[in-house]
Amino acid sequence: MTLKNLPAAPEASPRAGMYCDISPRALERWNPGLYAQDDSGDNTITIYDPIGYDMWGDGVTAKRIAGALRSIGSGDVQVNINSPGGDVFEGLAIYNLLREHKGKVTVKVMGLAASAASFIAMAGDEIQIGRAAFFMIHNAWVMAMGNRNDLREIADWLEPFDQTIADIYQARTGIEIAGIQSDMDDETWIGGREAVDQGWADALLSSDAVQETANAHQDSKLAARKMDVAMAKAGVPRSQRRALMQAYKSDTPSAVDTGMPGATETEADTANAYAAFQKAVANLTQTPENTNV
């Protein structure tokens, strides 16, 4: 498999009235505690967060990946992935960066490569996946607002991007394009062994290549992301969701942000984080401008 066989992705950003978000099902199945056993190599890039900026100021962006590739130069690179996806357009930009890299790109899927992370993974000259890991593919998942004409225009505008992503999958796997498109329409999960058998990956990772780490800070962020998605589905405007999450972040005890706590400390931190979230909700919903939301 050579990068020359992979189509380039178009550059774009969301239109007015729409923005990208993480699929709730991908977020539900993502375990952020899965990492490579060794991420210390100078030529290693990690993708262990959602794609694009999130409410924490985290997330994997094209700017970050471009900086990492500049540091590596033209040498070989290893990309370790465990991500629920996110911003499709940021993901396409990252895919292009890896596709155009002059050295060999080895992708290792530690836990989940969902949505935007799945087609980023396709840029690898060699793709390895954990036996218990998954790809998840689907059509571009966005939040949009407007009247029926606006929504039709957005749907039509998104269609070429879905076609490009399908072309990327087809070029990498050799599967018929109609089958790829059907799998994207249905939202399809592809496990490690199946991924190798069908051409989504070249080999399984060794059993000792992946480790799982308990981290209260990651648990807190994952809970916040799930709350954010739930509020989005309930129709809470994005500006108010972001204000709520910032209040939650500032009120969350600092103990959540550090160390590797034991079970008792983790339970206490989770309780404190939830109490802080409830306080933030109360403060936000009591403000006059939000009484009619």
Catalytic residues, by residue number, are 115, 138
Number of helical (H) and strand (E) elements in the chain, helices listed first:
10, 11
Q: Which residue has the tokens 């590596």?
A: 72
What is the rounded distance in angstroms from the CA atom of residue 253 to the CA atom of residue 271?
Answer: 10
For residue 163, give the H/E element and its range. Answer: helix 148-173
What Å distances lie between residue 84 and 52, 132, 223, 247, CA to CA? Answer: 11, 15, 14, 24
Output helix, strand, coil percentages for the chain, rounded to the nearest 5.
Answer: 50, 15, 35
Query: Could you write out the three-class secondary structure of 9-72?
Result: CCCCCCCCCEEECCCHHHHHHCCCCEEECCCCCCCEEEECCCECCCCCCCCECHHHHHHHHHHH
Spatial CA neighbour of 77 closest among 48, 41, 49: 41
Spatial CA neighbour of 216 closest among 271, 269, 275, 264: 269
What is the rounded distance in angstroms from the CA atom of residue 64 to the CA atom of residue 225?
Answer: 21
Spatial CA neighbour of 9 closest among 88, 113, 126: 88
Contact at 8 Å (CB) between 29 and 39? no
β-bridge partners, 45: 79
